[in-house]
Amino acid sequence: MPALTQLAVGDQVAIATYRFTRDSLVRYSGASGDFNAIHYRDDVAASVGLPGVLAHGMLTMGVAVQPVVEWLGDPGRVLGYQVKFTRPVLVDPVEGAEIEVLAKVGAVNAEEHSARIDLTVTFNGDTVLGKAQVLVSLAASA
């Protein structure tokens, strides 16, 4: 587990790329119970004015926190997580879509042995999750 004393604001703690395919969207629909057809049918997405099939917002949010969980080594150390959905992730039927996640230390609270990890989550160079912040509990020292 990372030590609080080894962190400084601005430190990069994780970077990752994740790929979504139409298959992964259908699987997520089944796991989440969200069967809104904009997440797997082009004709339905077009009928409501969308440019194509979109990844579920909660799927994007859930995947984006994964590199922080891996860095921590324990999902129980995540104390809180918030995001603002700013842009959709369009999932091409052939190419799919890739999101990139960059996690940096945004703040350190020595008294509470916690840190705020700020995520930059992008798709095709555009930010898709705004104010994405993960509050984590850390060991006081290594």
- The CATH code of the domain that includes 124 is 3.10.129.10
Mean pLDDT of the region 85-112: 97
* 103, part of any domain: yes
What mean pLDDT do residues 106-129 have?
A: 97
Q: Is residue 131 part of a domain?
A: yes
- Lowest mean pLDDT segment, chosen from 1-15, 18-32, 57-71, 125-139: 1-15
Instruction: Give kind and range of the element (H or E) at residue 59.
Output: helix 57-64
Question: Residue 1: what pLDDT?
Answer: 72
For residue 41, tell me if it sits in a domain.
no
- pLDDT for position 5: 84
Cα separation, 91 vs 54, whole angstroms: 6
Asked whether residue 40 is domain-assigned, the answer is no
CB neighbour list of residue 123: distance below 8 Å, 6 or more residues apart? 87, 89, 90, 97, 98, 99, 100
Domain count, the chain: 1
State the burial class of residue 54 (Cβ atoms within 10 Å of its Cβ: 0-12, 13-18, 19+). Answer: buried
Q: Can you give the pLDDT at residue 4?
A: 77
- With cut-offs at 50, 70 and 90, classify the pLDDT of residue 2: confident
User: 96: which strand partners?
Assistant: 92
pLDDT mean over 92-117 = 97
Structural domain that includes position 129: 4-19+55-137
Cα–Cα distance for residue pair 41/95, rounded to 1 Å: 15
Residue 114 in domain: yes
Give domain status of residue 77, yes or no.
Answer: yes
Q: How far is CA 25 from CA 12, 51, 84, 127, in A?
A: 29, 16, 20, 20
Residue 121 has pLDDT above 60, yes or no: yes
Helix 57-64 × helix 22-32 angle, to 10°: 100
Note whether residue 45 is domain-resident.
no
In a domain, 28, yes or no: no
Render pLDDT for 33-72 as a digit per residue (tens, 0 to 9): 999 999 999 999 999 999 999 999 999 999 999 999 999 9
